[in-house]
Amino acid sequence: MKQLIGIIADDLTGANDSGVQLTEKGINTSVLFDIPQDQDNVDSGIVIDTNSRALSKEDAASVTKQAGQFLKQAGYLTIYKKMDSTLRGHIGTELHALYDVFKPEFVFIAPAFPPLGRTTKDGFHYVNGEKIAETEISKDPKHPVTESFIPAIVEKEIGQTVGLVKKVDVEGSLSVFQEKINNFRENDINYIVCDAETQEDLQKAAQKMAAVSDNVVWAGSAGLAEVLPEVLEISQKTDKRSFSKSSRVMTVCGSLSQVTQNQVKYVTRQPKVTAVELGTLKVFEDDWKTLRQDVIKAILEGLEKGNDIVLYVPSNQDVREQVKQSGKSLGLTVNQIGERISTAIGEIVATVTETNTDLTGLVLTGGDTAKDTSRHLGGIGFRLIKQVEAGIPLGTLIGADREYIVVTKAGAFGKEESIYNAMQELKGVHDNE
């Protein structure tokens, strides 16, 4: 088996939504929650989730470097740094860490994901036509993005000049593109940001980049990951994979994104669904263990009725502020506050599934929630199967004592009905039935 492509991601939903792009191209791909200790049982495609978005810059650089060294020793032919399509995280810091490991000629940076409205024009990044710094991402509690010009974000973190390839450069002839890249070579510019407004733009750009340099570390979202296997001619013949269906499904929503909140509201309006709110303030109270039993009881009552379950956290500015203050009064950092909430969610799901062995279908939203819940079920990673829709993957949990079929979704991904559609997919219910 050839080690074709290794991806390093900074959170779990991003790891899954990039990894499933490889699966769709016939490359057997696993997502691992930790850097492996050895090279046994690695797939042709591997995604390592460093969880570094939640770390300090120094720790993020260190763990990214360790993941890179593993991929180098394992002999992966292509290296891909998964970036958040809304630019959250330690983008430049982690790219610089990989540069130190692989010493590529260029780091090619294209975070656009056009099918979900993430585009880059003249170096500025947009979500659904709005500059990223003018969207709700600018108020993200952990990683607010207050700059829309990608070269400036990367330059600030690495202290080097970053080149920009515009759409006009990509659409021109190969010789024009070559001239642009040669100019970067002459000026010792190793990091290049690339515009893209469509998947075709990403494909053209990757083709031209691969034609002018064979020593590239690629960096982008699920968008670039989708086109790269064909560009680099590492796609395999694909067989349709099947999975066991679950009679009932539990959706676990730990994301504060307004997109996810709207998706949850859509699900709660459907028949045979029990919605249970987890008041996040309660998690920080002294009698949380007692209050947790109330949440578990409400879920179990819903399951006894034969309903699907949606466990969700409320999201509005007042609640966010109150949670922040509660955490601060306990001496917790913003990341520790998030960890406490996602751990609480994971414990609840583990307790519920322990007594409901037929509950094997889960929809997990938000990277921290997905990872903590999976760990509480004994998981060490995912074996990816398919996409339910763009950027929303489905896979089996590796390491658990039973087969869990799991859909993961980044907070800001999807349409209003996306979570409901994922639940129906897990149950084997299709529109044409």
Average pLDDT of span 178-206: 98
Statement to judge: residues 50 and 150 lie in one domain: yes
Q: Residue 78 above 50 pLDDT?
A: yes
Joined tokens for residue 137: 């991402």
Distance of alpha carbon 250 from alpha carbon 406, whole angstroms: 10
Statement to judge: residues 260 and 404 lie in one domain: yes
Statement to judge: residues 219 and 271 lie in one domain: no
Domain that holds residue 61: 5-231
Statement to judge: residues 152 and 290 lie in one domain: no
Q: Residue 200 above 80 pLDDT?
A: yes
Q: What is the pLDDT of residue 321?
A: 82
CATH code assigned at 217: 3.40.50.10840
Q: What is the pLDDT of residue 433?
A: 42
Distance of alpha carbon 73 from alpha carbon 60, whole angstroms: 20
Give me the chain's average pLDDT, please.
93
| Percentage of residues in the chain having pLDDT higher than 90 | 77
| Percentage of residues in the chain having pLDDT higher than 70 | 98
Q: What is the pLDDT of residue 15?
A: 93
Statement to judge: residues 171 and 223 lie in one domain: yes
Residue 273: inside a domain, yes or no?
yes
Statement to judge: residues 133 and 275 lie in one domain: no
3-state class of 407 per DSSP?
Answer: strand
Kindly report the pTM of this predicted structure.
Answer: 0.88
Residue 244: inside a domain, yes or no?
no
Domain count, the chain: 2
Residues 324-364: tens digit of each pLDDT: 888 888 898 888 888 899 999 999 999 999 999 999 999 99
CATH code assigned at 287: 3.40.980.20
Residue 65: inside a domain, yes or no?
yes
Q: What is the pLDDT of residue 431?
A: 44
Torsion from C-alpha of 45, 97, 18, 118, nearest 10 degrees: -160
Q: Residue 132 above 50 pLDDT?
A: yes
Statement to judge: residues 141 and 264 lie in one domain: no
Q: Which of the two residues, 284 and 91, has the higher pLDDT score?
A: 91
**Domain termination residue (choose one: 185, 200, 231):** 231
DSSP-assigned letters across all residues of 206-257: HHHHHHH-S-EEEEE-HHHHHHHHHHTT-------------SSEEEEE----
Statement to judge: residues 219 and 264 lie in one domain: no
Statement to judge: residues 206 and 264 lie in one domain: no
Q: What is the pLDDT of residue 357?
A: 92
Statement to judge: residues 18 and 105 lie in one domain: yes
Residue 281: inside a domain, yes or no?
yes
Residue 27: inside a domain, yes or no?
yes
Statement to judge: residues 340 and 210 lie in one domain: no
Q: Residue 227 above 70 pLDDT?
A: yes
Residues 11-60: tens digit of each pLDDT: 888 899 899 999 999 999 999 999 998 887 689 999 999 999 989 999 99
Residue 76: inside a domain, yes or no?
yes
Statement to judge: residues 303 and 399 lie in one domain: yes
